[in-house]
Structure formats: C-alpha cells, structure tokens
Amino acid sequence: MTDESTSETPPPAGAGLCAGRVVVVTGAGRGLGRAHALAFAAEGARVVVNDFGVRPDGTPATGARGPADEVAAEIRAAGGEAVAHAGDVATETGAASLVATALGTYGRLDTLVNNAGFVRDRMLVNLTEDEWDAVVRVHLKGHFLPLRHAAAHWRAEAKEGRGPRARVVNTSSGAGLAGSVGQANYSAAKAGVLGLTLVAAAELGRYGVQVNAIAPAARTRMTERTFAETMAAPADGTFDAMAPENVSPLVVWLGSAASAGVTGRVFAAEGGRITVMEGWRPGPTADKQARWTPAEAGESARGLLAEAAAAEPVHGAG
C-alpha cells in the first residue's frame, strides 16, 4: 500500500499538527527525547514516554520516581495526554510492551521516535568488548526492536484495509555520518542506524509507513561530557544554539501526517539550521573492462582520488 489513506481523522483547523496522533518516544526522560515528547504533546499528540532511567553510561540509576514518569506528569500538568513506559527497548520484551502500551492505552500507534541511547567513550585500542556491545546494543538493537514491533502492527493494519499514515524518526549522529575520535562504538552504531533507516523506508512504504533519520547536534547528558565548552548554554540570554528544543520542530513535522512523501532521508539539525544529507553517491570512476593488476589498480585509485572531493574530517581529528 503506497497511498496515504487512513482511519485517522485530520486535525481541525487551528488544532495542533499532531492532533489525534499517538506518538512513542524512546529515551524521552531527558535531553532530546524529553524535548521531542513535550513538543509532540504541544502539537496535540498523545505521547508514550519511554525511558529506562539509567545513567549517561547506561549503568543503573536510583530514585523513587523515574524520568519517564516525570515527563509524562509534566505533559499532563500542561493539559496534554501521556503515559510512562520504563522498559528496556533493547530487549524483545521491552520493545513489545512499548508498542502494547500505546495500543492498550490509546488504541492506536501513529509515530515512533527512536532516541534511546548512552555512550561509553574510549580510544579504540582501549575499548573493551563489553563497552562495544553495550553501546551498539542500546543504539542499534534499541532502534531495531521497537521498529520491528511497530512495523508488524502497521503491516497488519494495512492488510485489514486501515492504511496508516505511520511515521518513524530514527536518531543517528554526526558521529554516524563522519565518525568521532574516541567513539568507535557509538559511531559504528549510529552509522548502522542510517542503514537500518534506508532499508526500513524501502520495505515499509507499501504499508503506509515513512522512515527518516536525523543527525542532531544539541546539549544532552552525553554531549556535555565530551564537548563541555562548546555545548554550554550562553550566559547572556542570546539564542541557545545547542538547546535540544531546537531539534524537536523538525522531528514533530517528520512524525506528522504533514510530512507525506518524505521517506528514506537523513536530516542534520543544529540550532536554527536544517540540512538534507546526501550520503554516499558515486564519484569519479574508472572501468578497464578487464582485471586490474595491483599496480594498475593503485595508479587508477590515485588518479580518481585526485578528481574526487576531499573526505569530510572525522570529529575530533587534527
């Protein structure tokens, strides 16, 4: 199914952009996720606020009240509708219960924003297997499992003739686009999110599902530790270019029915700037139409590199 037919009632004039929609945001207890959840609620969405409630490195946190509960309460206090979910979305059980919470509470699911993650930064030669596995698990598996469960629901809806206007917004990073020194695990996971986004967009379009990714730059618990000076909020009250709230308007639009026809794309968002990333495209090419010798291949490669655009620098290099 490729059309935009749906049982969703269009929002009335003057209503929010996401009025009538049910939106799930993972990692929504703090930072970017919290900003997204609040922004969706402000545009009329009913929000499932997911957060596992861990520290910035993924280790367990303590506290009587989890961050998901706090954000859900904040939305309700402002007159919106929200429910908290504290499960681990990088597990089969947690991801399944996340989708079930949306369906059980509100009877539908329209938008999934995959945002949950943490970092364990270390130079490559010092990076442990556990540090690699933990970061790849939360970012990549934590995108895949909620997406798979949501997609199964939307496919079933499409087969029953209830074609959804479903939206998925995945969260990559500049580290996934260009790499980042000291973040081999995080960079690899975020690059994987881009590949997952492209495949999901291609496979799920027939069911009325659009899948896009963002590469945000904002002040969060993760970035403050690595980029403390450049991420600091201005003290003079001027525009705070690193505020996570700057990224959320694009995410809300991508997660709304208004973004019809936009899928399989990657957007960088920072401050007041939005950029469409164009990814890997074929550059200079040579074709011998026969097998190269190693020396010939090397000579050809050097010639092609001389014609090609310079590679983007890795973050933190030089």
35 within some domain? yes
Range of the domain at 296: 284-310
315 within some domain? no
168 & 290 share domain: no
Exposure of 150 in the CB half-sphere (CA atoms within 13 A): 35
pLDDT at residue 213 in the model: 98
104 within some domain? yes
1 within some domain? no
pLDDT at residue 62 in the model: 52
127 & 204 share domain: yes
179 & 296 share domain: no
14 within some domain? no
What SS3 class is residue 122?
strand
235 & 140 share domain: yes
Of 190, 207, 256, 259, the catalytic one is 190
99 & 72 share domain: yes
For residue 219, what pLDDT band results from cuts at 50, 70 and 90? confident
pLDDT at 57 exceeding the cut of 90: no
Instruction: Determine whether 173 is an active site residue.
Output: yes
Overall residue count recorded for the chain in this entry: 318
205 & 297 share domain: no
106 & 251 share domain: yes
pLDDT tens readout for residues 185-209: 999 999 999 999 999 999 999 999 9
- Estimate to the nearest angstrom the gap between the alpha carbon of 223 and the chain centroid: 16
The predicted model gives 21-33 an average pLDDT of 97
Lowest-confidence range among 60-69, 102-111, 218-227? 218-227
Return the DSSP state at 183: B
pLDDT tens readout for residues 252-285: 999 999 999 999 999 999 999 999 999 989 999 9
Domain count along the chain: 2
pLDDT at 53 exceeding the cut of 90: no
165 & 132 share domain: yes
What SS3 class is residue 60?
strand
The predicted model gives 173-181 an average pLDDT of 95
37 & 137 share domain: yes
318 within some domain? no
For residue 2, what pLDDT band results from cuts at 50, 70 and 90? very low
226 & 299 share domain: no
Residue 108 near residue 46 (C-beta atoms within 8 A)? no
Of 97, 106, 172, 173, the catalytic one is 173
Q: Shortest CA distance to 185 belongs to which of 223, 116, 134, 226?
A: 134
11 within some domain? no
Q: Which two tokens stand for residue 299?
A: 């000579």
120 within some domain? yes
Instruction: Determine whether 159 is an active site residue.
Output: no
pLDDT at 220 exceeding the cut of 50: yes
Q: What is the CATH number of the domain that holds 51?
A: 3.40.50.720
Of 97, 106, 172, 186, the catalytic one is 186
pLDDT at 290 exceeding the cut of 60: yes
Residues 205, 134: Cα–Cα separation, whole Å: 31
234 & 144 share domain: yes
pLDDT at 13 exceeding the cut of 70: no
Q: Shortest CA distance to 38 belongs to which of 244, 240, 223, 220?
A: 244
115 & 222 share domain: yes
Residue 90 near residue 149 (C-beta atoms within 8 A)? no
Instruction: Determine whether 186 is an active site residue.
Output: yes
pLDDT at 120 exceeding the cut of 50: yes
Query: What is the Cα Rg of the chain in Å?
Result: 21
Contacts of 8 (CB under 8 A, 6+ apart): 20, 21, 108, 110, 164, 165, 257
266-270 vs 273-277, strand pairing mode: antiparallel
